[in-house]
Amino acid sequence: MKRLLLIIMLIMPCCMIYAQYSSDSYLGTWVYQSKDTIFTIKIQKTILNEKELIVGGYSLKVKGVLTDNYIGNPPANWEPTTMAQNNDIYLFGKYGVDEGKSLVAISFYDQRKKHFEGKVPMGGGKMELISPTQLHWVLNEEQGIANREGSPYGDFKPIGFSVPTNVIMTKEELKPHIPKEPGIPITSPIIIKK
């Protein structure tokens, strides 16, 4: 009996962590940094055809040079007649739970590689929360092409991505700016990495 109780106590925190996640857990700015590369995504929510979607944009800085800057302000309601990129939407997906894991299956518009002639997004990607402050970002081009099998885009060959494809990203937290002099109101937020 004690052994069963110990096992339950060890398993429960894992189950509780996943139960705490929701689509809101993905919102915010996430950053991956390695040597001379900084990859950033900003995630928000929008409504499309009365369904909630996770949407966002990305930026990439290499050797101190900003090579891609597609972080904008997606609308709260995405009109189905307008292209994603015209709405500052360069990645989108739907939140779900699969085998106890919180994730968002995503489609991605790579603005440099222009998969499928830039007309449709590359599917096959995912964002998976591994903690409240860490997210596993994965893009799978072969799966994205396979998902288009039977369409005019199913014959495309892999060309790679201009952004990292399998990395752990860290959530940035918005903190209030504390003034150096007393009596000055706190007005401008700054971003602090955890």
User: pLDDT digits over 73-116, tens only?
Assistant: 999 999 888 889 889 999 999 998 888 888 999 999 999 999 99
- With respect to residue 175, please indicate whether it lies within any of the assigned structural domains: yes
Residue 60 has pLDDT above 70, yes or no: yes
Handedness of CA 48, 25, 113, 87 (dihedral sign): positive
Query: What pLDDT score does 21 carry?
Result: 83
Residue 119 has what pLDDT?
A: 86
1 or 126, which is more confident?
Answer: 126
Q: What residue numbers bound the domain in which 135 lies? A: 21-193
**How far apart are the C-alpha atoms of 167 and 69, rounded to whole Å?**
19
Tell me how many domains the chain contains.
1
For residue 4, tell me if it sits in a domain.
Answer: no
Q: Check whether 59 has a pLDDT greater than 50.
A: yes
Question: Which two tokens mark 130?
Answer: 């591994």
Structure tokens that stand for 132 in this block: 């409240």
Longest dimension (CA), the chain: 66
Does position 19 have pLDDT exceeding 50, yes or no? no
Residue 178 lies in a domain: yes
The span from the CA of 71 to the CA of 58, in Å, is: 5
In this predicted model, what pLDDT tens digit does every residue of 20-57 receive, in sequence order?
Answer: 788 999 999 999 999 999 999 999 999 999 999 999 99
* Cα angle, residue 42 at apex, residues 36 and 47 outer, rounded to 5°: 155
* Residues 67 and 60 sit within 8 Å (Cβ to Cβ): yes
Structure tokens at 181: 């002099």
State pTM to two decimals: 0.78
Residue 148, domain member (yes or no): yes
What is the chain written as a DSSP string? -HHHHHHHHHHHHHHHHHHH--GGGG-EEEEEEETTEEEEEEEEEEEETTEEEEEEEEEEEETTEEEEEE-----SB--TTS-SGGGT-SEEEEEEEETTEEEEEEEE--TTT-GGGGSS-EEEEEEEEEETTEEEEE--HHHHHHTTTTSTTTTPPP---SS-SEEEEEEEEEEEPPPSSTT-----EEEEE-
Nearest Cα to Cα of residue 86 among 97, 94, 75? 75
Q: What is the pLDDT of residues 109-154, one digit of tens each?
A: 999 999 998 888 999 999 999 999 999 999 999 999 999 888 888 7
Residue 2 belongs to a domain: no
The residue among 176 and 123 whose pLDDT is bigger is 123
Q: Is the pLDDT reported for residue 9 higher than 70? A: no
């990305």: which residue's tokens?
Answer: 58
Q: What is the pLDDT of residue 82?
A: 85
In angstroms, rounded to a whole number, what is the distance separating the alpha carbons of residues 35 and 70? 22
